[in-house]
Amino acid sequence: MINTLMHTDLHLKGMLSKYKGKVREVYKLEKDLLVMVATDRLSAFDVVLPKGIPYKGQILNQIATQMLLATEDIVPNWLVATPDPNVSVGKACVPFKVEMVIRGYLAGHAARTYKNGVRSLCGVSLPEGMKENDRFETPIITPATKAEEGHDEDISKDDILKQGIVSEADYHVLEFYTRKLFERGTAIAKEQGLILVDTKYEFGKTIEGEIVLIDEIHTPDSSRYFYESEYAKRQQEGLPQKQLSKEFVRQWLISNGFQGLDGQELPELDEDRIESISKRYIELYENITGLSFEKAPVENISERIQKNLDVYFS
């Protein structure tokens, strides 16, 4: 079995704190710097699965880096450097407590909600007569609250403003950036013969008060893609779309009776399943970026990361 990175214990000069998210570990340093490590942990339905997926952290970190660089001309972001395949270093920010989810198509969570007869999502009215994976006339923004633990929750723009989670002036900026990023992401996807179906963006404020894009963007964990060449034919024939996203993991869990609900047990992740998920992530990387995936050494990933960071900060 290939080594995976499930947790880190880095020793960094000027370290102030460490935060452990579902799949990332974030070290806060002096001089308003953050070190974000993408582990190989896999989260679905807001539950972290017990075994890691080889190369997943590297894949997410490298896609996110490429996409942040490809959008920095339209939206400022937090990234400063990527000293290791699994690591990004950037500016410390105060995160907004909402995720800006934008959907160009009726897929995933939106489709499941629609199938249950609901015609409003996060305060946005959904038209009658849509089929799963149909395109919205205009992309819709369906925010979610950012949960420290457990499930993120859908929330409307009105409730965000009413509860004072984000000020009205800041929310307008978040909306503007979200639409601009989705436009750019759609164009990048099209160059690879893909459709960017939906995605989420997270934002924060720097110490100077500038709103910037943070975390990952346009990765298979935060986004859903379809193959453009097959899309129209599959919709016409009522066939499911072939997806490039983490949805294949969710569907496998659903078929095994797990959706993250109380009382449900996680199905067993055997070695064959783990290997197939890893191969699928590599396929996602190559399709999304148009690059061949180069596997980083995994004999001792933690040691490799520590050495690379020691060199970077020396």
pLDDT in tens, the chain (314 residues): 789 999 999 999 999 999 998 899 999 999 999 999 999 998 888 888 889 999 999 999 999 999 999 999 999 999 999 999 999 999 999 999 999 999 999 998 999 999 999 999 999 999 999 999 999 999 999 999 976 555 578 999 999 999 999 999 999 999 999 999 999 999 999 999 999 999 999 999 999 999 999 989 999 889 999 999 999 999 999 999 987 777 778 888 888 899 888 888 888 888 988 898 899 899 889 999 999 999 999 999 999 999 999 999 99
DSSP 69: H
For residues 274 and 54, give the distance between their C-alpha atoms in angstroms, rounded to a whole number.
Answer: 8
Domain stops at, among 245, 263, 285: 245
* Number of domains composing the chain: 2
Q: 241 and 101 in one domain?
A: yes
pLDDT score at 273:
87
> Can you name the residues that pair with 91 across neighbouring β-strands?
33
Q: 238 and 117 in one domain?
A: yes
pLDDT score at 50:
87
Domain stops at, among 229, 245, 261: 245
Closest CA to 178 of 150, 148, 211: 211
- Model confidence pLDDT, tens digit, residues 107-140: 989 999 999 999 999 999 999 999 999 999 999 9
Domain stops at, among 196, 225, 245: 245
Q: 162 and 21 in one domain?
A: no
Q: Buried b / exposed e across 78-108, counting CB within 10 Å, b at 16+?
A: bbeebbbbbbbbbbbbeebebbbbbbbbbbb
Q: 224 and 88 in one domain?
A: no
Range of the domain at 216: 96-245
Q: 122 and 72 in one domain?
A: no
Q: 53 and 194 in one domain?
A: no
Residues 6+ apart with CB under 8 A from 159: 123
Q: 113 and 216 in one domain?
A: yes
Q: 131 and 149 in one domain?
A: yes
Is residue 40 in a domain? yes
Q: 70 and 110 in one domain?
A: no
End-to-end CA gap in the chain = 34
Q: 142 and 229 in one domain?
A: yes
Q: 197 and 69 in one domain?
A: no
Residues in the chain: 314
For residues 157 and 175, give the distance between their C-alpha atoms in angstroms, rounded to a whole number.
Answer: 10
Q: Are 121 and 143 in contact (CB under 8 A)?
A: no
Angle at 80 between CA 76 and CA 81, to 5 degrees: 135
Q: 279 and 220 in one domain?
A: no
Is residue 171 in a domain? yes
CATH number, domain of 48, equals 3.30.200.20
For residues 186 and 169, give the distance between their C-alpha atoms in angstroms, rounded to a whole number.
Answer: 26
Closest CA to 90 of 193, 188, 214, 177: 214
φ, ψ at 105 (rounded to 5°): -140, 155
- Model confidence pLDDT, tens digit, residues 163-178: 999 999 999 999 999 9
